[in-house]
Chain A
């Protein structure tokens, strides 16, 4: 069985899927990613599907599952590089890719991860300020 490599770039794990994955390879990637997120403490996962000429319901479900697993492990997932024909087919197939964030390319994906993290921190700061305001008479 082939295995999809996972690269670490700064605070981000980058997965570029270059093979026609069997279902087993897809499940293995899910597990490998979860382990790498915990081992590295990375806060972003970018999955590049530029080389994928189809996304069927199995791969679609894998992408949704990876996004949910990452979320629980405090990391944002962005899927990048979807081909137009793949997008058209996905919609007709009836897959909505719930909970998945997408960007056009890796660069924009990295910006999206950074922006989401920044928003999260702002939200946290906001909560603190509220707490202080309530505490001060």
Chain B
């Protein structure tokens, strides 16, 4: 079953620290509306927080597009993080636990991938990065 969008996406710009907080709040609201369990809401909001921070710090800012989706059996929430930053040169390295170029813990990408059901990344050096994640209700 392919995923079908339910309604138009909510778009939140990521330009500052406070925007990362706004992304978390938007994702939480959408996850509650999609009837995700409390643990799944928590995992998705945490993943969104990591990825929004990456968009800000490494991508130099961008957007988060939050959409309620369904695949016929279950509902879910899809988030697309997009930036026009430098891109990621070595994806394998970027997904290694503990690897960081930004002074963080190096858990952002790898940790976020573990917390969601679907994870897709497109990145090109010099053009930017797009990360799409989806969390489904059980």
Contact = CB atoms under 8 A, between A and B. Distances in A.
A86 B42 contact: yes
B11 interface: no
A93 B107 contact: yes
B87 to A, nearest CB: 22
Contacts of B39: 84-85, 88-89
Nearest to B114: A92
A84 to B, nearest CB: 8
Interface in B83-119: 97, 104-105, 107-108, 110-112, 114-115
A23 B53 contact: yes
B105 A20 contact: no
A13 B71 CA distance: 50
A7 B104 CA distance: 29
Contact of B115 (A21, A86, A93): A93
B18 A57 contact: no
A101 interface: no
B49 A56 contact: yes
B66 to A, nearest CB: 16
B25 A20 contact: yes
A82 to B, nearest CB: 11
B34 interface: no
Interface of A: 20-24, 53-58, 60-61, 83-86, 88-89, 92-95
9 contacts: A20-B25, A54-B45, A54-B46, A54-B49, A56-B49, A57-B105, A58-B104, A93-B111, A93-B112
